[in-house]
């Protein structure tokens, strides 16, 4: 049986307060336009997230997160602690895309400016003619909505968005420069975050006071490689030993490159993650087609299937995983079919292009993947795996969440005994009273009838020892989970003085 060991020092453990989302809040780290980089803020709704962060992958993930809760069945949307990373990489503008039905003679415009954000700008000509005569409408959301009529300036300089301009020129004959129905599309990419900036944002979690703003895991939005994950492993260890955080990380695999075949991509993912192990890291290696607004708001499953090719976009399933974990108690798997059908994903990317053939291989690596079941509507998490080694007790997220919660309870309940006399007959109750107190609390919080998160537990307090002049109370914690052959056991130490 795998047994871990950690020495801890008492500070606030993030329990024992009135926080209404115990064990359910997680942090998201990603790129966005607004707010101060590397500064944590608790976001309670998509609208708040949009107001704070404006645009970016972090805003997109927040939108999907809140859409994944079904309030009609009693699910309560859980806030997210958010940190945006520094935008330290310069933005760019893709070549202009002319509409396939364009008949005007205007040449591609000259692009100027440095983007400060992401936008999909579409110019639609509504009145033909030369510059100064032709009229147009502008969209900044990829063509979903358009603004008022505008006259093309004689100078030809049109402000697109976020600091970018396009300069058009008249053609001959002038009247044929622009024709009604012509469109010009500009994909503007704002400043991005380097891997180093993203790791700095994750490290900013160390500044969070778990007593006032508890979080229990974090999700990095955006694909990463093995080297990034190794750096995350280092940060997790620092948070565990220096900040006493009992948390885990959810990461996303990189996406397929345009130059790769699907098979080459799958082989690359296998090679990338084959040798990576960490029982406190979950790596999600699947993408589903995201339906903006959710499946039900678009008319249900069949209607969303018809719309998917038009309005859908491929998203890594990590946001789905985190939302479903946040919706339930620590013992509930995000893969429980009855409770965790995705409210926003319809279809799995590359499902008919080889994905099904790699599912077992990915699962064996410890990657968390998506599943579609025969003759059953819905997209589901197949198994909420951790990237654990073969000897680890923590192969799945629910087991780690339970262990982390039990540790926090023991940590919190032993806190009042700091500096107390450990002699049983001293009036303090001593270690016997300490053990009785923490036993009772674990039972009341994790073994309640009808809501039991573990089947039983055992706490053994070892003889006090002195390390570097400090009194240390070693403890062995066991939790029992029904239908497991062994208990899950780990060791910890609490400083008494």
Q: What's 33's domain CATH number? A: 3.40.50.11780
Q: Residue 1 domain-assigned?
A: no
Q: Residue 141 domain-assigned?
A: yes
Q: Is the same domain home to 427 and 287?
A: no
Give the count of alpha carbons within 13 A of 209, CB side only: 4
Q: Is the same domain home to 68 and 104?
A: no
Q: Is the same domain home to 364 and 475?
A: no
283 three-class SS: strand
Q: Is the same domain home to 81 and 101?
A: no
Q: Residue 321 domain-assigned?
A: yes
**Of 141, 161, 189, which closes a domain?**
189
Torsion, CA 470, CA 415, CA 14, CA 474, rounded to 10: 50
- What is the tally of structural domains in the chain? 3
- Express each pLDDT in 360-370 by its tens digit: 999 999 999 99
267 close to 354: Cβ distance less than 8 angstroms:
no
Instruction: Give pLDDT, residue 422.
Output: 66
Q: Is the same domain home to 112 and 175?
A: yes
- Express each pLDDT in 263-287 by its tens digit: 999 999 999 999 899 999 999 999 9
Q: Residue 12 domain-assigned?
A: no
Question: The domain that contains 433 carries what CATH number?
Answer: 3.10.450
Q: Is the same domain home to 60 and 174?
A: no
- Express each pLDDT in 91-123 by its tens digit: 999 999 999 999 999 999 999 999 988 899 999
Phi-psi category of residue 302: left, alpha or beta, with phi > 0 → left and psi -120 to 50 → alpha: alpha
Closest-CA residue to 205 (of 61, 63, 25, 77): 25
Token pair in block for residue 170? 């008249």
478 close to 492: Cβ distance less than 8 angstroms:
no
d(CA 343, CA 283): 21
Q: Is the same domain home to 435 and 489?
A: yes
Token pair in block for residue 416? 């009042």
Q: How many residues does the chain have?
A: 497
How far CA 82 is from CA of 34, 284, 349, 410, in Å, comes to 12, 20, 27, 28
For residue 130, the enclosing domain spans 92-189
Q: Is the same domain home to 222 and 308?
A: yes
Q: Residue 390 domain-assigned?
A: no
What's the pLDDT band for 7 if we cut at 50, 70, 90?
Answer: very low
Burial environment of residue 417 by CB neighbours within 10 A (0 to 12, 13 to 18, 19 or more): buried
Q: Is the same domain home to 224 and 315?
A: yes
342 close to 378: Cβ distance less than 8 angstroms:
yes
């Amino acid at each position: 049986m795998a047994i871990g060991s950690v020495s801890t020092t008492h500070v606030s453990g993030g329990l024992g307060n009135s926080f209404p989302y115990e064990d359910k809040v997680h942090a998201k780290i990603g790129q966005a336009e607004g707010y101060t980089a590397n500064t944590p803020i608790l976001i309670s709704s998509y609208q708040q997230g949009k107001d704070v962060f404006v645009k970016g992958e972090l805003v997109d993930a927040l939108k999907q997160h809140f859409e994944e809760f079904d309030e009609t069945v009693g699910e309560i949307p859980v806030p997210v602690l958010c940190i945006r990373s520094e935008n330290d990489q310069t933005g760019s503008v893709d070549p202009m895309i002319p509409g396939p039905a364009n008949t005007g003679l205007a040449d591609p415009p000259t692009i100027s400016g440095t983007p400060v954000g992401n936008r999909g700008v579409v110019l639609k000509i509504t009145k033909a003619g030369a510059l100064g005569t032709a009229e147009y409408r502008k969209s900044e959301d990829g063509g979903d909505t358009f603004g008022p009529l505008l006259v093309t300036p004689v100078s030809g300089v049109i402000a697109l968005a976020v600091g970018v301009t396009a300069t058009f020129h008249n053609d001959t004959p002038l009247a044929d420069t622009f024709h009604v129905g012509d469109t010009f599309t500009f994909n503007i990419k704002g400043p991005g975050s380097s891997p180093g900036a993203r790791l700095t944002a994750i490290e900013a979690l160390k500044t969070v006071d778990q007593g006032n703003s508890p979080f229990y895991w974090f999700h990095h939005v955006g694909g990463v490689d093995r080297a990034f994950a190794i750096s995350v492993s280092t940060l997790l260890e620092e948070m565990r030993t220096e900040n006493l955080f009992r948390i885990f990380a959810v990461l996303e695999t990189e996406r397929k490159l345009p130059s790769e075949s699907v098979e080459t991509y799958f082989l690359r993912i296998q090679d990338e993650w084959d040798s990576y192990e960490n029982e406190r890291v979950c790596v999600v290696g699947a993408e589903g087609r995201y339906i903006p607004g959710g499946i039900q708001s678009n008319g249900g499953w069949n209607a969303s299937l018809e719309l998917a090719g038009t309005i859908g976009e491929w998203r890594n399933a990590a946001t789905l995983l985190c939302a479903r974990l946040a919706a339930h108690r620590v013992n509930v798997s995000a893969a429980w079919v009855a409770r965790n059908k995705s409210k926003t994903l319809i279809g799995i990317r590359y499902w008919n292009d080889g994905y099904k053939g790699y599912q077992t291989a990915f699962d064996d690596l410890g990657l968390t993947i998506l599943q579609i079941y025969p003759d059953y509507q819905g997209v589901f998490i197949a198994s909420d795996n951790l990237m654990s080694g073969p000897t680890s007790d923590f192969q799945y997220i629910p087991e780690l969440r339970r262990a982390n919660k039990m540790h926090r309870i023991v940590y919190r309940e032993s806190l009042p005994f700091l500096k107390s006399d450990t002699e049983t007959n001293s009036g303090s109750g001593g270690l016997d009273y300490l053990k009785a107190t923490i036993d009772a609390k674990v039972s009341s919080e994790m073994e309640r009838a009808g809501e039991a998160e573990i089947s039983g537990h055992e706490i053994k307090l070892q003889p006090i020892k002195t390390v570097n002049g400090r009194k240390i109370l070693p403890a062995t914690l066991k939790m029992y989970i029904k239908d497991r052959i062994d208990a899950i056991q780990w060791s910890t130490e609490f400083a008494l003085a």
